[in-house]
Amino acid sequence: MRTPLIAGNWKMFKTLDEASSWADDIAKRVSDITRPEILVCPPCLYVHALAESLRGSPVRVGSQNVFWEDSGAFTGEVSAPMLASAGASHVIIGHSERRQYFGETDETVNKRLFAAIRGGLTPIVCVGETLDQREAGKTNTVIEAQIKNGLAGIDPGQAGLLVIAYEPVWAIGTGKTATPETAQGVHAFIRGLLRELFGQEVADRIRILYGGSVKGDNIDALMAKADIDGALVGGASLDAASFERIIRFKGK
Ligand code: PGA
């Protein structure tokens, strides 16, 4: 079955020194782990240093964003070939903070997705509804549009490489996690959409992570659900001990 993936998203936190100490610490803590897969997504400035210092450990390194062109006159942007050459294996695409503050749309998500695949990076495509959308009963409609438009034009062969992260916006950084039942309901809905788009076999292979206030004390119950294949962890990934606890979830 699907290998669980626990991914940390540092957002815009830590200096280089802090990042290096974290890497030394986590490498010692998880050196025995072969399952789940472990990923950390620091600010892209630290991707190379972390990829070097975590080489030989089970922790892989990803980026929090990627531009859709491979090279060119695009001041301030970073491309998939650059990230891959710096040691990144994965990239987060369409995080709700990028949608909220930086004008990310399903269309730009789609362009970044193609760039990631071209560059050999595993894309982690984020979807999720806001509180207003949930209260208006629009959760499924919103998720369906994000999945169908974000993944437009992807063929089933490429889709097998995808990771999806369901992150309800109202649960991110708020301490309000979706209940395991609520999350499982949306994950099952997403898997149904993936089945419609890519067929049963591919849909069964795609990992769907939950994100939004994941902590040591709620990860076990979340991971016990059939369609929750891992977690995208913000705040609790910044501390190596609390990230380790999440990596060592019980069940599955
Ligand atoms: P949080 O963030 O765990 O701090 O809620 C999750 C995310 O935004 O990926």
| Domains by residue range for the chain, with CATH | 5-247 (3.20.20.70)
Q: How far apart are CA 190 and CA 208, in angstroms?
A: 8
Active site residue 244: no
Q: Is 167 annotated in the active site? A: yes
Pocket perturbation via mutation, ligand 1, pick of 6, 40, 172 by most ligand atoms within 8 A of CB: 172
Atom of ligand 1 nearest to the CA of 96: 8
Query: What is the distance in angstroms between the CA of the first residue and the CA of the last residue of the chain?
Result: 10
Indicate if ligand 1 lies below 6 Å from the C-beta of 172.
yes
Q: What is the SS3 assignment for 231?
A: strand
pLDDT in tens, 153-162: 999 999 999 9
Q: Is a pLDDT exceeding 80 seen at residue 231?
A: yes
The structure's pTM equals: 0.97
Give residue 133's pLDDT: 96
Distance CA 47, CA 61 (A): 6
Q: Is 168 in the pocket of ligand 1 (CB under 6 A)?
A: no
Convert the pLDDT of each residue in 91-134 to its tens digit. 999 999 999 999 999 999 999 999 999 999 999 999 999 999 99
